[in-house]
Structure 1
Amino acid sequence: MASTRGLLIVLSGPSGVGKGTVRAAIFKKNIFNYVYSVSATTRESRPGEQDGVDYYFVSRDEFEKLIEQDALLEYAEYVGNYYGTPIQKIEENLAAGNDVFLEIEVQGALKVRQKMPEGIFIFLAPPNLQELESRITGRGTDGEAIIYERMQKAREEIELMQHYDYVVVNDEVEFAVEKINSIIQSEHLKVERVVDKIKADIHKYFQKGDESR
């Protein structure tokens, strides 16, 4: 039945908006037991990031082998690096009834939308572009040219938010986490997700009554 399959939750937004920070805050408590789908990337790890926890950090050759093996739900090249989502674990967890949480770039999210339109797509937006630029600059990992490129890309990505189901403004991480959790739990209450189970319970009740007569 449809109600036994987990939800695919896709959190996306422009670089620097705080996707990783919000995701980490969600999983710090993880009161709803989401399963995090770790993406693969060819970019260098940033301070504090762990291989296999934040990303699978792989070489370009290794990533291209995954592409050849059709082992990725989606992949995209962004500012000179590949990002992609291994598919096997996602399918296993959804089939087991687990909610699977993806944190990916906008290009990748739109590709997932084409392949798995039943997913819940949440766009994380900055309060404004000045704040977004401040966050990117504050990382201290990118030069002026890369920052300019990221800001140009962010403008293009924000204009794609109409392809998502929900938009959450990341003004305060705590509030963003609350909104995302509320969205997901509301999705679980949609009629199409519970109707089969309730009808099955009704059928079982009356079938048992008929047999006892």
Structure 2
Amino acid sequence: MSNPQAEIPIVVLSGPTASGKTTIVKRLLQESPVKLIKAISATTRPIRNGEIDGQDYYFLTPEEFEERRKNNELLECEQVHGLGYWYGTLKSEVDRAAKEGGWPFLEIDVQGTLKLKEQFPQTMTLFVRTSSDEEYEKRIRDRGTESEEIIEKRLATIRKELELAEYYNHVIINDELDRAVNEIGTILKQREQEINAGRI
């Protein structure tokens, strides 16, 4: 794969579950001051109600995912949430975004982000979180969709991910959606101006 960062940056947004990432991503794809092309992640987890294969994720069987991993078709991949499911970004997705003239925009987990940054140090990383740890448990329990065992596993993962926020370029508090979206938009616009000025 050619290095998509030769001319434009890869933008990564991540953060613990229940941080409001999905809503922020949808808003940014509509409102961002720079053109973002969302890279669709691949996963082995079951499809949820309302999700569309090839739009929300590429839903692969464990065997399909492993074959792509062996064939070096994944930019990054991780087994996350302690539930045995794999997530990853296909290299073809990043190339597609670059060819369409936008910035490749990835919504991936913390471990995947750190691995990606090792390969592409200029990756622009955004970490979204709530202002309090207690808010995470409230949001997860309010969903009412997961067992106590899974909730506890998710909370343990959240605590680990929050400890890694310091490795990101920017940490955004998402307690007020409009403010968080505007803050990220300002960050992206500033990066674009720096690129155009030849400072990056």
Q: For the residues of structure 2 that align with 1:121 and 1:31, how far apart are their CA atoms?
A: 17
Query: Contact conserved, 1:13 with 1:123, CA < 8 A, in 2?
Result: yes
Q: Write out per-residue CA displacement over residues 78-110 of structure 1, whole angstroms, 9 at most, x where no aligned residue.
A: 121000000123134336642111001111111
Look up the match of 2:142. Answer: 138
Q: 2:13 aligns with which of 8, 11, 14?
A: 11
The correspondence of residues 34-49 of structure 1 with structure 2, limited to 5 A, is: 34-49=36-51
Does the C-alpha gap of structure 1 residues 182 and 195 become closer, same or farther in structure 2, counting only changes over 3 Å?
A: closer
Which amino acid in 1 is paired with 2:109?
A: E
- With the length of structure 1 as denominator, give the TM-score of the two structures: 0.84
Is 1:110 matched up with 2:114? yes
1:46 is displaced (CA, Å) by 2.1
Look up the match of 2:171. Answer: 167
Which amino acid in 1 is paired with 2:54?
A: G
Q: Which runs of 5+ in 1 are unaligned?
A: 198-213
Q: Write out per-residue CA displacement over residues 98-129 of structure 1, whole angstroms, 9 at most, x where no aligned residue.
A: 21110011111111111111110000111211
Does the C-alpha gap of structure 1 residues 194 and 3 become closer, same or farther in structure 2, counting only changes over 3 Å?
A: farther
Q: For the residues of structure 2 that align with 1:110 and 1:48, how far apart are their CA atoms?
A: 30
Look up the match of 2:86. Answer: 82
Query: Contact conserved, 1:10 with 1:121, CA < 8 A, in 2?
Result: yes
Look up the match of 2:71. Answer: 69
Q: Select the structure that is richer in helix.
A: 1
Q: For the residues of structure 1 that align with 2:31 and 2:170, how far apart are their CA atoms?
A: 22
Report the secondary structure of 1:7's partner residue. Answer: coil
1:62 is displaced (CA, Å) by 0.7
1:195 is displaced (CA, Å) by 4.2
- With the length of structure 2 as denominator, give the TM-score of the two structures: 0.89
Count of residue pairs brought into register by the alignment? 194
Look up the match of 2:180. Answer: 176
Aligned identity (percent) is 35
1:182 is displaced (CA, Å) by 1.0
Which amino acid in 2 is paired with 1:138?
A: D
Does the C-alpha gap of structure 1 residues 172 and 196 become closer, same or farther in structure 2, counting only changes over 3 Å?
A: closer
* Aligned-residue CA RMSD (Å): 2.1
Q: Write out per-residue CA displacement over residues 162-211 of structure 1, whole angstroms, 9 at most, x where no aligned residue.
A: 11100001112222111111111111112xx23459xxxxxxxxxxxxxx
Q: 1:126 aligns with which of 115, 120, 130?
A: 130
